[in-house]
Chains A and B, each alone.
Chain A
């Protein structure tokens, strides 16, 4: 049996081109700066507006994972069903798109938050 090596190499190249490599996201390096710049002003105890309204503190990883008084905002490995992602992506009603009363996050920041959740929302 003959194997066409040129064809095989081409196939390998095509396949490797099709596989999208998703970057590894770190909470401390990538996620926390986004939260600090856009969310923490309101979501910080004791007097942040968002904290007072929902109980969600973003001061630490543990606080974020605890969620609001209504429940968690992160579903590990599931950005589609995570409320944090839903709200920053504007998938819930636009009037409650986060950050509230400010410009929406840049698409790259939204993607970082999604990847972080999809990769297990680790404290890394």
Chain B
């Protein structure tokens, strides 16, 4: 009963913060046998090119979430992969820890971005995320799928709830920052090139274009 109440509470908390950035089309969070899965579809109020640029600006990755206290692009012999190391300093309930996350990021031919945890350099057991980014008129639709298996102890019952809450909160903060920075970038670029957005819309096929 207590657990059911907590999950109901989680539902309320989740949906009260959904408008933090853009428009949430779909959000699903689940947990099974130590593996957390988050599926999020969002429409960000910023042009595709700027959103894509912000997400792939690995040098300034610390801008996306204040929990990131260190970041580094590591050497990798494979040119198609960017290996990124981030140190995340954060707390779940009263448990504060530093999470070392090394991930290999690939930009796929489709424009999607695939990131996979390198477990031997991370204290996360395993994980992968796929970003599908599409233009939607002057906005951007993102489908984000995350699978994460933490390598650290998560207390039973309340622990998995707290991890899900944390994942949700951090993802929303990151998406909010992606949108905010992309909009700033767009304003800056527009100031230098006022016809840029028009050119962009002509160049990038959007769903509205297809519908028309």
Contact = CB atoms under 8 A, between A and B. Distances in A.
10 contacts: A80-B89, A83-B62, A86-B62, A86-B69, A91-B69, A91-B71, A92-B59, A92-B60, A94-B72, A96-B60
Nearest to A80: B69
Interface string A78-121: 00110100100001111110000000000000000000000000
A75 interface: yes
A95 B73 CA distance: 9
Contacts of A81: 66-67, 69, 89
Contact of A96 (B59, B66, B87, B181): B59
B169 interface: no
The size class of the interface chain B forms with chain A is 10 to 19
B6 interface: no
B95 to A, nearest CB: 17
Interface in A26-78: 69-71, 75
Nearest to A95: B59
A69 B188 CA distance: 10
A107 B47 CA distance: 42
A105 B137 CA distance: 46
Given A69-B188, A95-B59, 11 more contacts: A69-B184, A70-B181, A70-B184, A81-B66, A83-B62, A83-B63, A86-B70, A91-B87, A92-B59, A92-B72, A93-B59
- Nearest 4 pairs of A and B residues by beta carbon: A91-B70, A93-B59, A92-B62, A80-B69
A86 B65 CA distance: 13
A93 B181 contact: no
Interface in B45-92: 58-60, 62-63, 66-67, 69-73, 87, 89
Contacts of B89: 80-81
Interface string B180-207: 1100100010000000000000000000
A21 to B, nearest CB: 26
Nearest to B58: A93
A66 B58 CA distance: 24
A94 B73 CA distance: 9
Contacts of A83: 62-63
A80 B91 CA distance: 14
Nearest to A89: B70
Contacts of A69: 184, 188
Given A70-B63, A80-B89, A81-B89, A92 B181 contact: no
Contact of A92 (B67, B70, B188): B70
Contacts of A92: 59-60, 62, 70-72
Contacts of A95: 59, 73
B205 to A, nearest CB: 30
